[in-house]
A and B are shown apart, each in its own frame.
Chain A
Amino acid sequence: MGAVGEIVSQLMGCEEHVLFALEPEGERFLPVSAMGLPPERIQSLLVPQGILGQVARHGVPYVIGRTSSVGAAPHEVGLTACIPLLGGRQVRGVLALFRMLPQKRGLSDEDLELLDLLRLQGAVAVTEPRQGALATYEPASAPLLGEPSPLWTFYLEPGGLVAAARPTEVTTILGSCVSVCLWDERLRQGGMNHFLLPTAPYGQLPSGRHGDAAIPMLLRELERLGSQRLNLRAKVFGGAHMAGLPPDGAAPTLGQRNAELARRLLEEAGIAIIAEDLGGSAGRKLRFRTDDGMALVKTLRAG
């Protein structure tokens, strides 16, 4: 279960909740994670209508007792709250909370603050909603009084993408996948993607899961945050092949093809690669700081 699920169940005491990504056309929800709800219940919610539909369309949260429940659909009985997840101005998904733990009497002010945090996380974590790859984040620690910019941390799922103007530490784990980290030295901001394949397989829409979409997307997000391309530097990681060495003359491995694509697209974009750790036969845990561009790689190896 993701950080969102943990916050909702552990901190807010809600034992029935579901996180939906919204399809780009807004016609359907895609379940990302759920707890306590039977599959048929989730199935009945997949078409955005009733309150969930209103939240998805208008981006305005619903909280029982505080917002009108006019227009609720029959299968939304027991809905406690529904929060839009925003990426920029767009609703990228919704979080719906149903039954709370018996000792909870509705949502407290702290709960509402947490929900507001979750609502806005989409604005920081720009992700590809089609595959439900919502990046999640939580504060690394409680910010100290007077500290101007606490460090935020994200775990980036495969196919996700983060671009942040505030100091953020992004962590991800790579096998044959590749992450491109871009860093703007002047504005001290940056971002990271995590793609699985160089290009979209036949029949699949290009998304953050594919390098030829994920790299331009990351670049675009940083430019939207004010970065100029000439100030961007790249660090590239991943692309391993972890099952013995491929035989001589064999086709390039998926990892090699991912790495090759990253190098080529960055060169075409005129962005210098100032560090890379690619290939090899071990997984990698990567941490990247968007403010100072520091990247740390831990090699994950058996034994």
Chain B
Amino acid sequence: MSVPKKILLVDDSPTVLLMERLLLQDGPYELLSASSGMEAVERALAEHPELILMDVVMPGMDGFEVCRRLRAEEATRNTPIILVTTRGGPEHVEKGYESGCSDYVTKPFDGNELRAKIESFLGY
């Protein structure tokens, strides 16, 4: 059994964080969480997660800004960032890619699909 890979979950809603934890808890992951954009940047730089799953819309620093800041840092330049968007928000998705995100999922998402995307990035 290899070392569990760290995934940082970022959302200002505790309910969404809990749901993401429930979806991913059975996988070979160590789950970290952050409840704001600023906390996400700090945790990502301190803990070097192998993947970040992050909400777009958050008060203060939003997901786009977090992407831009992490892409500007050597340590997190290539960390896969999956943005969580809501349906009908194409402008969010487009802006997400232009901010440096790696992929996106649309709420409500399916656990199996989310795991398939994550595993692809983590090279399972």
Contacts and interface: CB of A to CB of B under 8 A. Distances in A.
A94 to B, nearest CB: 17
A209 B88 CA distance: 16
Interface string A180-204: 0000000000000000110001111
For chain B, give the interface size range. Answer: 20 to 34
A254 interface: yes
A253 B98 CA distance: 21
B120 interface: yes
Contacts of B117: 176, 196, 254
A201 B99 CA distance: 30
Contacts of A250: 123
Given A197-B113, A300-B98, A242 B103 contact: yes
A69 B98 CA distance: 50
Contacts, number: 93
A201 B87 contact: no
B88 A157 contact: yes
B35 interface: no
Q: Which of A3, A136, A158, A209 has the most CB of B within 10 A?
A: A158
A138 to B, nearest CB: 11
Contacts of B124: 251
A243 B102 CA distance: 6
A302 B71 contact: yes
Interface in A1-44: 1-5, 32-33
A196 B102 CA distance: 14
Interface in B83-124: 86-90, 93-94, 96-104, 106, 108, 110, 112-113, 115-117, 120-121, 123-124
A175 B102 contact: yes
Contact of A176 (B71, B96, B110, B120): B120
B97 A300 contact: yes
B51 to A, nearest CB: 8
Given A243-B79, A254-B120, A175 B100 contact: no
A303 to B, nearest CB: 8
Nearest to B123: A250
Contacts of A254: 116-117, 120
A3 B88 contact: yes
Given A33-B88, A244-B78, A302 B97 contact: yes
Nearest to B81: A243
Contacts of B100: 302-303
Contacts of B112: 201-204
17 contacts: A1-B86, A173-B93, A173-B104, A175-B102, A196-B113, A197-B113, A201-B116, A202-B112, A203-B112, A204-B112, A241-B120, A250-B123, A253-B120, A254-B116, A301-B97, A302-B71, A302-B100
Interface of B: 67-68, 71, 78-80, 86-90, 93-94, 96-104, 106, 108, 110, 112-113, 115-117, 120-121, 123-124
Interface of A: 1-5, 32-33, 131-132, 136, 155, 157-158, 171, 173, 175-176, 196-197, 201-204, 209, 241-244, 246-247, 250-251, 253-255, 282-283, 285, 300-303
